[in-house]
Structure 1
Amino acid sequence: MKECSNRRVVNYLIVVFLNAFTDLGHKIIIQNTIFKVYDGEMQIVLTAIVNALILLPFILVFSPSGFLADKFAKNLIMKHASALAVVLTLLITFSYYQGWFFTAFAMTFMLALQSAIYGPAKYGYIKELVGVKFISFGNGAVQAVTTVAILSGIIFYTVLFEIALADNFTTKEDVLQVIAPIGWLLVLGSTIEWFLASKLPNKMIEASQKKFIFKRYIQGKYLQKNLKTVTRKKEIFEAILGLSLFWSISQVVLAIFGEYAKSELGITNAIYVQGAMAMAGFGIVTGSIMAASYSKYYVNSGVATVGAIGMTIIVFIIPTSESMITLTVLFAFFGIFSGFIMVPLNSLIQLRAPRVHLGVILAGNNFIQNIFMVSFLVLTTIFAYFGTNAVALFYLMGLVGIYLSFILFKRYFVLSFWAFVEMILKMRYNFHYVGLEYIPASEGVLLLGNHVSWVDWAIIQIPIKRRLNFMVDKDIYNWKLFNKALKKGEAIPISKKASKDAFAEASQRLKNGKIVALFPEGQISPDGETGKFYKGYELISSDYDGKIATFFIDGMNGSMFSKTRDFNLFSRRDVTVYFSKPVHRETKTQEIREIITNLKGKHETKQA
């Protein structure tokens, strides 16, 4: 059964790959033709128009595509849309042979129209296929596969284009006729995609009774209703806006880089230009996998903030670089940070969207993103027409990146902090968590465990979606460097002189259903062994609705953050955290200490 399920996932991913690979192939052929024939502002204008033709269909069919994805089985929509792609690629190939540049140019719109109908079903199918538990990994896999398709498509079709073309052209019509046989590869790709899409299983739980009334669509009533659905949940809408700004910056960067390379660096070979941008694809694969790992336990939207900051820095650096090697590396990092943005925000949208409105919300996501992208490309075209060069446009996009970073940081402040901490720690440590299922999803929890290092608080928080309210030494709490962050993180300051107030506050937090965490040893262990437990936490009122949960951290003794330092700067350390079943909230200190001390041994005995 599991093998069958895995085969279905692989089959779906191949369909996703071929969909992006084929669509990208035609776009690359048109863009490379523009690159060869036109220069300066006209090159930027035509490239921007091509990108706009790809985006416009997502705006125009927002309501129908969302309706179709909610009304019918998503696998059937993918099947019929890929069949349409076969017809379109045949027409595109015919236009190549005839040398009809503007017909082929216009067919970009038709191929994008097919993708716009396809999109909500394709992405909505992720949740149906892998379920909520693996939604971040599903999105990471889809993003990685899509990016590999784009990357390989750029390289594959650009190399074929240059080999077939050589110097055998004088006009744009000549270019298309020389490279026309490449069109049959587009036909082949779409045919295989259609065949595999036909094999995808129907995962629709129940049929929808929705009806589409064309008159309401023309009158814009569906648009109004669907936009209300999309904007109803603030968390979903803010994620869509974040993605929209990200894609807008990316579209402009890709649209202007060709002209920058040609005018500023004197590069006329399309392989070098497309190859440098294709490195962003390698980066996105890496970034998507990393983002999925950071969202292993829950969708960590704070990773998107780190991605936005990193991407903005790269956009500012690109126009200062004159080496293609440097630019290639920069585009790779641009891709990594792009993956950080795409995976958590897309996962968040799918996770928060009700199943009955998933198609509409995903179509709305496409609609708003493409409104933004088309608007940015129109502005790019206007700026280029009036003489603004590519360098200035890069800096303008950097300013937009600063704004994106600001709004994401503001929206996901706490998660951004934790994402940054997790990324830093995972450079040195491999974390493993055993018994996470014992942490209650709701109700008040008093979380107690051993104290081995200065970063135990971070290690415990990483896998737990609920925010922990740590009891922190008052002197540390009042440090100017940490005070604002600790307040925002809802830490509870405690001192020997004011412990009664701290425990009263902890009691109230537990009554409000929070997790309160503290280390009963009161200090970091000097030798890694579990020391004496102080009874202070017994002063916390036990009249809350919840239990005591315990943990044992193994592997941090000897690290750079422990008091017994014995570490290798170049080696990674394995750290395991063991959690136990919650115990009654009135369990006494000595019994809690015994449970924690014996946790590792119990888990190892159970595994053996």
Structure 2
Amino acid sequence: MANQFSLFKKRFFSSYFVTQALGAMNDNIFRQAIIILISFKVASEINFSENIMTNMAAGLFILPFFLFSATAGQIAEKYEKSALIRKIKLFEIIVMMFAAIGFYFNNIWFLLFVLFLMGFQSSLFGPIKYSILPQHLKDSELLGGNGLVEMGTFLSIIIGTIIGGVLMERGASGMQILSVLLITLAVVGYLFSRRIPTTPLAQPNLKINWNPVTETWKTFKFARKQKVVFLSILGVSWFWFYGSVFLTQIPNFTRVSLNGNELVATLISACFSVGIGIGSVLCEKLSGRKVELGLVPFGAIGMTWFAIDIFLANPYSGYQGLLSPTEYLSQDGSIRTLLNCAFVGIFGGFYIVPLYALIQERCERSHLSRVIAGNNILNALFMVVAAVLGAILLGNGMTIPQFFLLVAILNALVAIYIFTLVPEFLMRFLVWILIHTIYRVRKKELDKIPDEGAYVLVCNHVSYVDALIIAGSIRRPVRFVMYHKIFKIPVLSFIFRTAKAIPIAGANEERELLNKAMYQIAEALDNGEVVCIFPEGKLSTDGEMNDFKSGIERIIETTPVPVIPMALQGLWQSLFSRKTVNKFIDRLKRLRTKVTLVVGDPIEPGKVSKEYLQEVVSELRDNKP
């Protein structure tokens, strides 16, 4: 795959992408129209608080996810997914017809009922939306596919938000156009759904449990068996709490804090949604086309920082929503607010896409739809809490900027809690920061490393962070065998321990530690894991390779698996090598060093010897990048 956009050449992905994007667009055209109707027109006419009605509308849309997701997950597991998508899209056409009736009679209460039906339709589609991807995409395509889906979703939110806002500003004629558009998009989405190819059944013999409470509990018990997956689910649900707060409050925030009209509200929402789309697409490039958990803490930091700055830039409330977009943009601090909203979205994309890809990659495929359904239930619960919390706090005098500040602080606390429970997130973040700040890493021939099966990687040893550069470049988790004194270096020790590195000592140092390491290596290979060793046994002191030790021969003799040679180029000039540099300017040059990781052809166990491996690695190292 040249890049993630080449997925559109596949019939499945292009048809599925358009189907889900048009569904999301319909949801948001209608939902934005309802929120604008409440915020700027209806609430004052029926003498009802717009804050309460806005949050009630948000709650009605996501409530069905809480009520029906458990059953929808089982249905998605038991029956063929493409046929289910077509039926769900037919139901969407009926719901849009109801919406047209509601707009014709200008009945807000009936329209709120239609909003509930839209939520019900979306709750049926939710478990299919993410569980169908791993059945048609390779593992190497999951991150890019998820990024495109999130981009499509939030671009649809943008377009839907803009269309809903613009048409509602035109009054009765806008409502008529809106009604026709909603039905048309539903029909087009159905036509594209007919092109989605058949998907293999995940659990055809599954007996459906119609009790949503017991089935939800059962799903969560299963998900909790995989700690990283379960905490990723919690992280996804928190994102929807966070995003719900922004998307729900932006119209009133625009009116009372920015003094902007309906079109300014649409502009602010668009910045937020465009940001998420940009961040989602950038994930594949920033992560090297693998599921990079290090982006999750990075995203959480940005989500907190820029949300706090929204409060700092707009501490006051009490305006009337009078300014047009042109008038608003001429105000001091307007660009700062737009950029803050965009960057909250961009970092939100960095946060959410790896979490979805991780759930799909590590969860058992036979339970994925139900786990996604359980995730949707938690999403719904968190979004209901966001709606209720917003209604209570804003109804009791808290301003919307203060509410954003509170949520930003909560986001930091939630992130710290999750990353404390699963150090892998923080470890991957430190690795990601290292290889994207101090180094510029280029990878060559990574496709020679198989996605499955046990094998040993061997590489030259140039710096204290060789293992981190390799770990940050290879798709699969790697068990590194490293000299015990390097293993114990502060900060790096945390990363090595979290990555389950294996400390080793020479036979003349600690025979017991050496034997323990050999046992752990054999156990890891027997379990189908990847082990990486540095056969030189010590760091280079002059930039040249040391002689390979016989440990690699002992490993392969005990557990015969293929050996894949690799070489690191350019690290001798870098910050963490043993090269002595005295001048300050020369030390600065060691930052942002160009490093290349070159992978050679796999070597069968019978051909492995320390002399042959050293010759191959030496040739790889000496080849010009």
1:33-52 to structure 2, matched below 5 A, reads 33-37=37-41, 38=43, 42-52=49-59
Task: For residue 417 of structure 1, report the CA deviation from its aligned partner.
Answer: 2.2
Task: For residue 539 of structure 1, report the CA deviation from its aligned partner.
Answer: 9.8
User: What stretches of structure 1 of length at least 5 have no aligned partner?
Assistant: 165-174
Partner of residue 9, structure 1: 13
Kindly indicate whether residue 27 of structure 2 is the aligned counterpart of residue 23 of structure 1. yes
Residue identity opposite 1:53 in structure 2: L
| SS state at 2:248 partner | helix
Kindly indicate whether residue 120 of structure 2 is the aligned counterpart of residue 113 of structure 1. yes
Query: In the superposition, relative to structure 1, how do residues 376 and 433 fare at CA in structure 2: closer, same or farther (>3 Å)?
Result: same
Q: Distance in 1 between matches of 2:423 and 2:613?
A: 34
Query: In the superposition, relative to structure 1, how do residues 533 and 241 fare at CA in structure 2: closer, same or farther (>3 Å)?
Result: same
Match for 2:478 among 467, 472, 475?
467
Partner of residue 350, structure 1: 360
Residue identity opposite 1:70 in structure 2: E
Task: For residue 257 of structure 1, report the CA deviation from its aligned partner.
Answer: 3.4
| SS state at 1:581 partner | coil
Partner of residue 235, structure 2: 242
Partner of residue 204, structure 2: 208
Residue identity opposite 2:73 in structure 1: G
Q: Which moved more, 1:40-49 or 1:245-254?
A: 40-49
Match for 1:552 among 564, 567, 572?
567
Kindly indicate whether residue 339 of structure 2 is the aligned counterpart of residue 329 of structure 1. yes
Match for 2:261 among 260, 269, 273?
269
Residue identity opposite 1:596 in structure 2: V
Partner of residue 144, structure 2: 137
| SS state at 2:211 partner | helix
Q: Which moved more, 1:365-374 or 1:267-276?
A: 267-276
Task: For residue 184 of structure 1, report the CA deviation from its aligned partner.
Answer: 1.3
Q: Give deviations 1:70-125, integer Å, cap 9, x for gaps.
A: 22211111111111212221221232122222222321111111111122123222
Partner of residue 327, structure 2: none
Query: In the superposition, relative to structure 1, how do residues 348 and 520 fare at CA in structure 2: closer, same or farther (>3 Å)?
Result: same
Q: What is the percent sequence identity of the aligned residues?
A: 21
- TM-score normalized by the length of structure 1: 0.84
Match for 1:380 among 369, 390, 393?
390
| SS state at 1:204 partner | coil
| SS state at 2:132 partner | helix
Q: Distance in 1 between matches of 2:383 and 2:541?
A: 55
Task: For residue 227 of structure 1, report the CA deviation from its aligned partner.
Answer: 4.5
Residue identity opposite 2:85 in structure 1: M
Query: In the superposition, relative to structure 1, how do residues 245 and 573 fare at CA in structure 2: closer, same or farther (>3 Å)?
Result: same
TM-align CA RMSD: 3.6
Task: For residue 29 of structure 1, report the CA deviation from its aligned partner.
Answer: 0.8
Query: Is the 8 Å Cα contact of residues 68 and 123 (structure 2) preserved in structure 1?
Result: yes
Task: For residue 23 of structure 1, report the CA deviation from its aligned partner.
Answer: 0.8
1:580-599 to structure 2, matched below 5 A, reads 580-582=601-603, 584=605, 587-599=608-620
Partner of residue 284, structure 1: 276
Query: In the superposition, relative to structure 1, how do residues 82 and 431 fare at CA in structure 2: closer, same or farther (>3 Å)?
Result: same
Partner of residue 167, structure 1: none
Task: For residue 568 of structure 1, report the CA deviation from its aligned partner.
Answer: 8.4
Partner of residue 217, structure 1: 211
Residue identity opposite 1:23 in structure 2: D
Q: Give deviations 1:510-542, integer Å, cap 9, x for gaps.
A: 233262522628334756xx4342547579776
Residue identity opposite 1:8 in structure 2: F
Query: Is the 8 Å Cα contact of residues 506 and 516 (structure 1) preserved in structure 2?
Result: no
Query: In the superposition, relative to structure 1, how do residues 263 and 524 fare at CA in structure 2: closer, same or farther (>3 Å)?
Result: farther
Q: Which moved more, 1:504-513 or 1:74-83?
A: 504-513
Residue identity opposite 1:261 in structure 2: T
Residue identity opposite 1:510 in structure 2: I
| SS state at 1:531 partner | coil
1:412-451 to structure 2, matched below 5 A, reads 412-426=422-436, 429-438=440-449, 441=452, 443=454, 445=456, 447-451=457-461
Q: Which moved more, 1:144-153 or 1:541-550?
A: 541-550
Q: Distance in 2 between matches of 1:321 and 1:295?
A: 32
In the alignment of these two chains, the number of paired residues is 584
Q: Give deviations 1:6-32, integer Å, cap 9, x for gaps.
A: 133211111111011111100111111
Query: Is the 8 Å Cα contact of residues 144 and 289 (structure 2) preserved in structure 1?
Result: no
| SS state at 1:520 partner | coil
Residue identity opposite 2:211 in structure 1: Y
Match for 2:307 among 298, 306, 315?
315
Q: Distance in 2 between matches of 1:568 and 1:157?
A: 53
User: What stretches of structure 2 of length at least 5 have no aligned partner?
Assistant: 1-5, 315-332, 526-530
Task: For residue 43 of structure 1, report the CA deviation from its aligned partner.
Answer: 2.8
Q: Distance in 2 between matches of 1:422 and 1:359?
A: 30
| SS state at 1:598 partner | helix
Query: In the superposition, relative to structure 1, how do residues 138 and 454 fare at CA in structure 2: closer, same or farther (>3 Å)?
Result: same
Q: Distance in 2 between matches of 1:21 and 1:95?
A: 19
Q: Give deviations 1:366-404, integer Å, cap 9, x for gaps.
A: 112101210221122112222222233223212321232
Query: Is the 8 Å Cα contact of residues 258 and 273 (structure 1) preserved in structure 2?
Result: yes
Query: Is the 8 Å Cα contact of residues 41 and 387 (structure 1) preserved in structure 2?
Result: no
Partner of residue 64, structure 2: 57
Kindly indicate whether residue 579 of structure 2 is the aligned counterpart of residue 579 of structure 1. no
Match for 1:305 among 297, 307, 323?
297
Query: Is the 8 Å Cα contact of residues 302 and 413 (structure 1) preserved in structure 2?
Result: no
Q: Distance in 2 between matches of 1:30 and 1:47?
A: 8
Query: Is the 8 Å Cα contact of residues 18 and 193 (structure 1) preserved in structure 2?
Result: yes
Query: Is the 8 Å Cα contact of residues 101 and 176 (structure 1) preserved in structure 2?
Result: no
Partner of residue 245, structure 2: 252
Query: Is the 8 Å Cα contact of residues 59 and 367 (structure 1) preserved in structure 2?
Result: yes
Q: Distance in 1 between matches of 2:281 and 2:67?
A: 33
Task: For residue 569 of structure 1, report the CA deviation from its aligned partner.
Answer: 10
Q: Give deviations 1:299-321, integer Å, cap 9, x for gaps.
A: 33343232223212222222111
Task: For residue 362 of structure 1, report the CA deviation from its aligned partner.
Answer: 1.7
Kindly indicate whether residue 83 of structure 2 is the aligned counterpart of residue 76 of structure 1. yes
Q: Give deviations 1:269-316, integer Å, cap 9, x for gaps.
A: 222223223222222222222333455565333432322232122222
Query: In the superposition, relative to structure 1, how do residues 457 and 357 fare at CA in structure 2: closer, same or farther (>3 Å)?
Result: closer
Q: Distance in 1 between matches of 2:564 and 2:203?
A: 43
Residue identity opposite 1:550 in structure 2: P
Task: For residue 133 of structure 1, report the CA deviation from its aligned partner.
Answer: 4.3
Residue identity opposite 2:68 in structure 1: V
Q: Distance in 1 between matches of 2:592 and 2:378?
A: 46
Partner of residue 393, structure 1: 403
Q: Give deviations 1:193-242, integer Å, cap 9, x for gaps.
A: 011112222112477244557xx538x54444444444454443222111
Residue identity opposite 2:479 in structure 1: L
Partner of residue 510, structure 1: 521
Query: In the superposition, relative to structure 1, how do residues 477 and 115 fare at CA in structure 2: closer, same or farther (>3 Å)?
Result: closer
Q: Give deviations 1:536-580, integer Å, cap 9, x for gaps.
A: 757977663245542112455656667597998999957342234
Partner of residue 522, structure 1: 538
